A and B are shown apart, each in its own frame.
Chain A
Amino acid sequence: MSGGPPKALPSTGPQSLRDMPHPLAGSSSEEAVGGDSTPSPDLLTARSFGDKDLILPNGGTPAGTASPASSSSLLNRLQLDDDVDGETRDLFVTVDDPKKHVCTMETYITYRITTKSTRVEFDLPEYSVRRRYQDFDWLRNKLEESQPTHLIPPLPEKFVVKGVVDRFSEEFVETRRKALDKFLKRITDHPVLSFNEHFNVFLTAKDLNAHKKQGMALLTRVGESVKHVAGGYKLRSRPLEFAAIGEYLDTFALKLGTIDRIAQRIIKEEIEYLVELREYGPVYSTWSALEGELAEPLEGVSACIGSCSAALEELTDDTTEDFLPVLREYILYSDSMKSVLKKRDHVQAEYEAKLEAVALRKEERPKVPADVEKCQDRMECFNADLKADMERWQNNKRQDFRQLLMGMADKNIQYYEKCLMAWESIIPLLQEKQEDK
C-alpha cells in the first residue's frame, strides 16, 4: 500500500449477524449485507488472491476465482505436500471480504468464509457465512478441547499491543484476514482436524451463536477423557524424541524472536532514512529554482529521489504487513506446541504412575487393569498424533519460511529495481546538451 493515513473501511451501518440473508439466497458468492451498501472497489477486487497466497502449501484455493495461473500453481504446490493427493482434495475454504459493522454497543469486522466441499459431512456443496474474530477464537478453543493431542494452528493476536494501530485500518484488517485465512487453511489441510464437528459448524452454521450456546457434546476418541487428566502426575523424563522436539521449539522460538527484533529495527532505520530523503529531494528543487542551465537536471534529481522515497515506503509497508505477522504467528505456533508437549507429558506421567501403582499392589492376578490399558492407549495415540503432526508441521514450516524469506528478498529486489529505473531514466536528461536556452 502506498503512503497516507490508513483508510477506514466503509461501514455497513447497524446490522446484526442474524439479519444477514441465507448464504444461498440469491447469489451466494456475493455479499448482500446491509442492502445497498456497496463495498469499496478496493475490498472487492483485490481481495481475491495475490500470487503469494496461491503458493500456500497448506491447502485451499480461491473459491470460484480460479484462473489458469492459479490452478497450475495449485498443482505445483500440492505436489510438495505429501499428505494430500491433488485429486482427492475435497475441501476448500477461503476468508475474504472484510466488512465493518457499527452497532450501538460495539463496532467490529466480519469476514466472509466460503466453503466448497464434496465431503459427506457437508449437506450442501457450497457455503458462505460471515464470522468475526470472536468466532475464530471460539473455534480454536473448541479444537483445543476436542483434539488435545493435535497441534492447533495459532490465531493472529487478539489485541494489538504495540503502538497506535487502528483496528479498522485497511492495512490491519488485511493483515488479519490473511492470518485468519491461513488458520482455516491449515485446519483444512489436517487429516483429522478438518473433520472436526466444531469446524464443520463454524463453516456452515447460519447462526453460530446458537450453536455456541448449545455447547455441543462431542465424542472423540481421546478428547473428553484427556481433558480430565489431573495435574498431579509428574513426568520423570521425557522420551528422547519429544525432548528433542521441545529443545528444537525453544531454540526455534528464540531465533524467530531475534529475527522479529531485527526486522523491526530495519523498519525503524528505513523509516528514519525515509524522513531524511523526504527533506533531501526538495532541496534539489530549491536549488533548481536558482539556476538556468542546471535547472532541469537538478529538478530531475529531485524527482528521482522522490521516486526512491516512494519505493522505500512501499518496502517498509510490505515488511510490516507481510513479513512480521508471519514471524509472530510461528512464535505463537511454537508456544502452543510446547503446551501440547506438556499435555503429552501429563498423559505419559499418568500412565506410568498407574502402571507403577499396579506393580506395587502385588496382586494374585497380575493382569493389567482396564483403566491402565486405557491410559496406555491414550498415551500411545497421543504420541502418534503428535509425531505425525510434528512431521507435517516441519514440512509446512519449511514451505512457509521458504516462501516468506523469498518474498522478503523479492520485495527488496523490487525496491532496488524501482530505484534503478528512476536513476537510469535521468541519465539522458543530465547528459543533454543545452541548445540555445
Chain B
Amino acid sequence: MEQAAPDPERLLQPAPLEPLSHPDTGLESVVGEGAKGARDEGPGDGTMTESNFSLKKIEISVSEAEKRTGRNAMNMQETYTAYLIETRSVEHSDGQSVLTDSLWRRYSEFELLRNYLLVYYPHIVVPPLPEKRAEFVWHKLSADNMDPDFVERRRIGLENFLLRLASHPILCRDKIFYLFLTQEGNWKETVNETGFQLKADSRLKALNATFRVKNPDKRFIELKHYSDELQSVISHLLRVRARVADRLYGVYKVHGNYGRVFSEWSAIEKEMGDGLQSAGHHMDVYASSIDDILEDEEHYADQLKEYLFYAEALRAVCRKHELMQYDLEMAAQDLASKKQQCEELATGTVRTFSLKGMTTKLFGQETPEQREARIKMLEEQIKEGEQQLKSKNLEGREFVKNAWADIERFKEQKNHDLKEALISYAVMQISMCKKGIQVWTNAKECFSKM
C-alpha cells in the first residue's frame, strides 16, 4: 500500500474487493476492542459470547412490557412502556440456564444504543429497531402506541433486535451493548460519556459528500441504488398488503350476516329449518376466523418491515463510504494544490491563482527570504498532507474491506430470512385455504340436509 509517487489519481482508487476468506476478516473492529473469542454465527440463535470475560453462552429475551408513568426532561408527566430484558447464561455442562441479569429499558434507550453503534461501527449494517410509530396499518389495527397489540409486536421486535446484535460477529462484543444488558442504572451516562454524539457525522456533511464525491466505489453506488429500490418496493408492498387485509376482512365479515338471516329464515321453515340454522352457524364461524388469520399475517408484515428498515442501514454504510471518499478526495486535492504552489514558488512561475501572487503583483515582489520561508512551510504541510493522505487511504481501504465483508454477511442473512418469511407466508395462506374449505364443506353438508 506504499505509493511510489504522490499521484492524486492513484490515491483515489478504492481498494479492490477482498474475498471473505479468513474467518477473522472483519473482526478488527474500528473501535479497537481486543480479545477474539469463539464466535457464534446465525441470526437469532440468541447466543453471544462476552469479550474480555470468560466464555459463556447467553440467552436474551424481552419478556414483558409494562406501562409506566414518569416525568420527562421538562418535568411533565408522561406515559411510556418499559420492556423487561432478561439475560440467562447457559452452563455448557448441563444446559441449564440461570438468570443472570434482568432490567427494564424503554424504547428511547434502545434508540440510544443503536445510535451509538451507528457511530462506532459505520462499516457495519446495524440491525434496525422496530418502528417507532405504527405505520401501514389497515383499518382494524390501531395506530396507537399504547395499544396492547402494538406493544406486543414491538416487544417481539425489540427482542429480535437484541438477538440480531448478539449474533453479529462484531457487534456482540461491544461493551456498551453488554452494559445495556447488564447495567440498569447509569447506562445512559456511560454511553454519553463515550462522546459518540460528537463523533457522529453531521447530516449536512454527509449530504454534501453525496453530491460532490467524484469517484466513489462502483459497488457502493450499486448498493445505494439497490437499497433505494428495496426501500421503495417494500414500502409499496406493505401499503398494498394493508389494503388487501382490509378488503379480506370485509369479505369475511359480511358473510356473518348470512348467519343471522339463515337463522331468521329457518324459523318459518319446517323441513329446511335445521339445515339452514346449522349452516348459519358455520357462516358465523367463517366470519370470525378472519381475525386470527390477519393477526398472523401481521408477523409477516413485521418481517418485511425489518428489511425495509435494514435498507436504511445499508444506505448509512454507503453514505459513510461517500463521506470518507469525499474526504480523501478533498485531502488529495488540497495536497495537490499545495504541491503546485510549492513548485511555482520554487520555479518562479505562476500558474495557479493565489492571494500571495495577487498581492505580489499589486504590492511588489517578496524578498527571497520570505519566499524561502513560505516554501519551507509548504514543504512541511506537504509532508503532513502526504502522511494524512496515506492514512486516509488506508482507512478507506480498511473501511471498504470490512464493510463488504459485513455486506456479504448481510446479503446471506437477508436471503435466508426473506425466504423463510415467504415460506411462512405461504404456509399461512395454505392454512387459510384449508380453513375455508372446512367451513364451506360443513355448510354444504348442512345445506344437503335441508
Give the B-binding residues of A (Cβ under 8 A): 248, 251-252, 255, 258-259, 262, 265-266, 269-270, 272-273, 275-277, 279-280, 283-284, 286-287, 290, 292-294, 297-298, 301, 304, 398, 401-402, 405-406, 409-410, 412-413, 415-417, 419-420, 423-424, 426-427, 430-431
Contact = CB atoms under 8 A, between A and B. Distances in A.
Contacts of A416: 433-434, 436-437, 440
Given A272-B250, A423-B429, A287 B237 contact: yes
B426 A402 contact: no
B250 A269 contact: yes
Contacts of B429: 304, 419, 423
Nearest to B241: A280
B258 A430 contact: no
Nearest to B430: A423
A402 B450 CA distance: 6
Contacts of B440: 409-410, 412-413, 416
A286 B437 contact: no
Interface string B272-305: 1001000100000000000000000000000000
B441 interface: yes
B450 to A, nearest CB: 5
16 contacts: A258-B261, A262-B257, A266-B251, A272-B250, A287-B234, A290-B229, A301-B425, A304-B429, A401-B450, A402-B448, A406-B444, A409-B440, A412-B440, A420-B433, A420-B434, A427-B427
A402 B447 CA distance: 6
Interface in B412-450: 415, 418-419, 422-423, 425-427, 429-430, 433-434, 436-437, 440-441, 443-444, 447-448, 450
B233 A286 contact: yes
B20 interface: no
A14 to B, nearest CB: 47
Interface in B253-282: 254-255, 257-258, 261, 264-265, 268, 271-272, 275, 279
Contact of A273 (B236, B248, B261, B427): B248
B261 A423 contact: no
B244 to A, nearest CB: 5
Contacts of A294: 415, 418-419
B244 A277 contact: yes
A255 B247 contact: no
B430 A262 contact: no
B233 A423 contact: no
Interface string B393-426: 0000000000000000000000100110011011
Contact of B244 (A280, A301, A417): A280
B306 to A, nearest CB: 15
Nearest to B251: A269
Contacts of A258: 257, 261
A192 B85 CA distance: 84
B226 interface: yes
Contacts of B233: 283, 286-287, 290
Contact of B247 (A273, A409, A430): A273
Given A272-B250, A276-B240, A283-B240, A255 B426 contact: no
Contacts of A298: 422
Contacts of A405: 279, 443, 447, 450
Interface string B205-244: 0000000000000000000001001100110110011011
Contact of B447 (A259, A287, A406): A406
Contacts of B247: 269, 272-273, 275-276
A431 B261 CA distance: 45
A275 B240 CA distance: 10
B350 to A, nearest CB: 53
B254 A262 contact: yes
A409 B443 contact: yes
B419 A297 contact: yes
A424 B431 CA distance: 10
Given A272-B250, A287-B234, 20 more contacts: A259-B258, A266-B254, A269-B247, A269-B251, A273-B244, A275-B247, A280-B237, A283-B233, A284-B237, A287-B230, A298-B422, A398-B271, A402-B448, A405-B443, A405-B450, A406-B448, A409-B443, A416-B434, A416-B436, A430-B423
A410 B422 CA distance: 30
A251 B266 CA distance: 11
Contact of B422 (A262, A265, A297): A297
Given A402-B448, A416-B437, A430 B268 contact: no
A283 B419 CA distance: 16
Contact of A423 (B234, B279, B426): B426
A301 B422 contact: yes
Nearest to A259: B261
Nearest to B427: A427
B92 to A, nearest CB: 32
Contact of A420 (B248, B437, B444): B437
Nearest to A247: B268
Nearest to B235: A283
B211 to A, nearest CB: 25
Contact of B426 (A275, A409, A430): A430
Given A262-B261, A406-B444, A420-B437, A276 B243 contact: yes
Contact of B423 (A277, A401, A415, A431): A431
A413 B237 contact: no
Contacts of A423: 426, 429-430, 433
A270 B253 CA distance: 12
B433 A290 contact: no
B433 A401 contact: no
Given A301-B425, A424-B430, A252 B268 contact: yes
Shortest 7 CB-CB distances between A and B: which pairs?
A409-B444, A273-B247, A420-B433, A416-B436, A405-B447, A255-B265, A269-B250
A417 B432 CA distance: 11
Nearest to B253: A269
Nearest to A262: B257
B229 A419 contact: no
With a 10 A CB-CB cut-off, give which of A259, A412, A419 has the most chain B CB atoms. A412
A21 B255 CA distance: 51
A424 B419 CA distance: 15
A398 B272 contact: yes
B372 to A, nearest CB: 61
Contacts of B427: 427
Contacts of A251: 268
Contact of A301 (B251, B257, B426): B426
A427 B425 CA distance: 10
A262 B240 contact: no
Contacts of B433: 416-417, 419-420, 423
Interface string B62-91: 000000000000000000000000000000
A92 to B, nearest CB: 27
A279 B261 contact: no
Contact of B250 (A273, A283, A406, A430): A273
A293 B416 CA distance: 9
With a 10 A CB-CB cut-off, give which of B425, B441, B447 has the most chain A CB atoms. B447
B255 A266 contact: yes
Contacts of A266: 251, 254-255
Contacts of B415: 292-294
A216 B292 CA distance: 67
With a 10 A CB-CB cut-off, give which of A286, A301, A420 has the most chain B CB atoms. A420
Contacts of B243: 276
